């Protein structure tokens, strides 16, 4: 098993052939096992059709070629900044490996390492309004062997704002469904956090576990696929998208993902007056800055602030009133004597 794993990784880790491994006996060569259109091969060999057997001379392994390739991605292939940065990260790794194998490549490897990432605008944060959440749950199937599972899963996502990996990795031992129902989530950075569960969420999870063909052991996954296997991230995304497609979201062009549920939880907690530090702990954010962005996207809170300002403006009739201190003669006299 380990040998097979090493064979799969070998083309990526050892993309250069040393002179002793090369048929020609000299020069730097690309590993012929690399795919013909490998994203690392193309910028190194320059323009033209990639050819894994082509000799990669030192002048081809240049930072100028990398810059030209990155510009090509954005201008001609229409790739965004994130795709560009992803390719650059791959090239950083490639050249670091190349410089370690061939000292002649080391100066160019250092120049490539100095090519910076571009700053990308944060992606738009989508979330569901409360009426959209209600319509989605109203459209869920009410019968069938998977009806309880689907409703329990979506309710769990809405309740906890858990990440996809936290949901698919959840086991029965992490749930407390008796008094003070809660869940212990294993999040990023090997950190644990506890989230309270609504009584309805706990009821649905308990019913789902009791309806299983075999009693759920403490180490059993909480959520299973249609065939009784542990639910994967792909299966989770597919399930969430399928139920989200039953309602019109926003302009009808947006799809729902598990992360949209996470955003929804954060915004609804904020709108309910929950302190931002509590939300940070609820979602497992390391930095408070990550949580603060939800204060920028809540349309309802912005509308309420706007209505409050309009109320103040509409109540003032005629010219603006003087400040209170200017309407008090005695106070003006006292100020003049200072």
Q: Which residues are catalytic?
A: 163, 188, 259, 262
CB of 250 closer than 8 Å to CB of 126:
yes
Q: Which residue has the tokens 């000799």?
A: 55
User: What is the number of other CB atoms lying within 10 angstroms of the CB of residue 202?
Assistant: 23
Burial 157-174 (b: 16+ CB within 10 A, else e): bbbbbbbbebbbbbbbeb
Length of the chain, in residues: 338
CB of 243 closer than 8 Å to CB of 140:
yes
Task: Tell me the C-alpha distance between 120 and 169, whole Å.
Answer: 31
Distance of CA 28 to the CA centre of its chain: 39
DSSP line for 311-324: HHHHH--SSPPPPG
- What spatial distance separates the first Cα and last Cα of the chain, rounded to whole Å? 89
Task: Tell me the C-alpha distance between 323 and 49, whole Å.
Answer: 76
Q: Is 188 exposed, middle or buried (0-12, 13-18, 19+ CB in 10 A)?
A: exposed
CB of 172 closer than 8 Å to CB of 189:
no
Q: Is 68 exposed, middle or buried (0-12, 13-18, 19+ CB in 10 A)?
A: middle
Give the closest residue to 111 by CA, choosing from 64, 58, 74.
64
Task: Tell me the C-alpha distance between 73 and 238, whole Å.
Answer: 30
């Amino acid at each position: 098993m380990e040998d097979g794993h090493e064979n799969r990784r070998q083309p990526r880790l050892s993309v250069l052939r040393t002179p002793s491994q090369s048929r020609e006996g000299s020069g730097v060569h690309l590993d012929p096992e690399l795919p013909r259109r490998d994203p690392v091969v193309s910028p190194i060999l320059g323009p033209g059709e990639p050819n894994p057997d082509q000799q990669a001379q030192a002048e081809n392994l240049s930072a100028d070629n990398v810059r030209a390739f990155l510009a090509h991605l954005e201008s001609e292939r229409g790739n965004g900044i994130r795709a560009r940065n992803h390719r650059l990260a791959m090239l950083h790794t490639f050249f670091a490996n190349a410089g370690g194998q061939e000292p002649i490549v080391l100066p160019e490897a250092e120049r490539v390492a100095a090519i910076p990432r571009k700053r990308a605008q944060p992606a738009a944060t989508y979330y569901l309004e409360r009426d959209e959440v209600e319509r989605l749950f109203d459209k869920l199937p009410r019968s069938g062997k998977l009806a309880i599972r689907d409703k329990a899963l979506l309710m769990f996502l809405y309740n906890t704002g858990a990440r996809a990996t936290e949901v698919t990795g959840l086991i029965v031992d992490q749930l407390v469904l008796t008094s003070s129902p809660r869940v212990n989530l294993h999040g990023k950075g090997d950190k644990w956090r506890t989230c309270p569960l609504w009584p309805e969420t706990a009821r649905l999870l308990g019913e789902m576990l009791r309806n299983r063909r075999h009693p759920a052991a403490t180490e059993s996954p909480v959520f299973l696929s249609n065939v009784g296997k542990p639910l994967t991230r792909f299966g989770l995304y597919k399930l969430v998208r399928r139920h989200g497609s039953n309602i019109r979201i926003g302009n009808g062009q947006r799809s729902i993902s598990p992360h949209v549920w996470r955003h929804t939880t954060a915004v609804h907690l904020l709108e309910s007056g929950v302190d931002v530090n509590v939300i940070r702990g609820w979602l497992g954010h390391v930095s408070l800055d990550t949580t603060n962005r939800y204060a920028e996207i809540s349309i309802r809170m912005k509308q309420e602030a706007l209505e409050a300002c309009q109320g103040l403006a509409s109540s003032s009739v005629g010219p603006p009133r003087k400040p209170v201190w200017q309407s008090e003669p005695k106070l003006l006299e006292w100020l003049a004597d200072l």
